[in-house]
């Protein structure tokens, strides 16, 4: 598997991006503001993540997604670790990520990679998304914010 930055002449892997965020509008907004990275295996895009600058010292990791046929193989963790490497290389002091309260697997993944919960935005998904979102039998209501302090 190879992870690389998506070239400007390539289309966004919208099918994968929609696995992590049901809003095409939100995806286009943060992909325009950030850099999209893709994981490829045998010329097939199997994973994706987006990095965007949140402040002078802070980079935000958004939309980590793995193709359904390739899930449960550690690819998500490799994507997160790659994002950490890129953030360190670019000299940022903090990498932040946010996910829904119902995203149990993602919350576990981020914490296993060293992220710590730093806050909650109550009702974020009720306010910013038109339809109800359910994962793991739980309604996604709140945005859980996590951060990782990067050693330079």
Helix axes 75-89, 104-112, angle to 10 degrees: 50
Rounded to an integer, the average pLDDT of 102-125 is 95
Concatenated DSSP letters of 10-49: SPP-HHHHHHH-S-HHHHHHHHHHSEEEEEEETTEEEEEE
Question: For residue 152, is pLDDT > 80?
Answer: no
Read off the pTM.
0.91
pLDDT of residue 56: 86
Pick one of 3.40.50.2300, 3.40.50.300, 3.40.630.30, 3.40.50.1440 as the CATH number of 2-149: 3.40.630.30
Give the domain ranges of the chain.
Answer: 2-149
CA neighbours within 13 Å on the CB side: how many for 40?
11
The Cα–Cα gap between 29 and 31 comes to: 6
The pLDDT, as a whole number, for residue 54 is 82
The answer, yes or no, to whether residue 131 has pLDDT greater than 90, is: no
CA distance 152 to 137: 40
pLDDT tens-place string over residues 45-85: 999 999 998 888 999 999 999 999 999 999 999 999 999 99
Q: How many other CB atoms are there within 10 angstroms of residue 136's CB atom?
A: 10
Spatial CA neighbour of 47 closest among 96, 24, 80: 80
């Amino acid at each position: 598997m190879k992870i690389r930055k998506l070239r400007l002449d390539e289309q966004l892997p919208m099918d994968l991006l929609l696995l992590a965020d049901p809003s095409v509008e939100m995806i286009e907004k943060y992909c325009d503001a950030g850099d999209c990275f893709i994981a490829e295996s045998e010329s097939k895009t199997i994973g994706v993540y987006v990095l965007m600058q949140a402040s002078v010292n802070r980079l935000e990791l958004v939309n980590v997604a793995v193709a359904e046929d390739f899930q449960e193989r550690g690819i998500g963790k490799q994507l997160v670790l790659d994002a950490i490497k890129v953030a360190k290389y670019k000299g940022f002091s903090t990498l932040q990520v946010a996910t829904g309260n119902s995203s149990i697997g993602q919350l576990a993944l981020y914490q296993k990679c060293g992220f710590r919960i730093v806050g909650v935005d109550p009702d974020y998904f009720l306010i910013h998304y038109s339809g109800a979102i359910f994962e793991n039998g739980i309604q996604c209501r709140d945005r859980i914010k996590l951060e990782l302090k990067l050693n330079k």
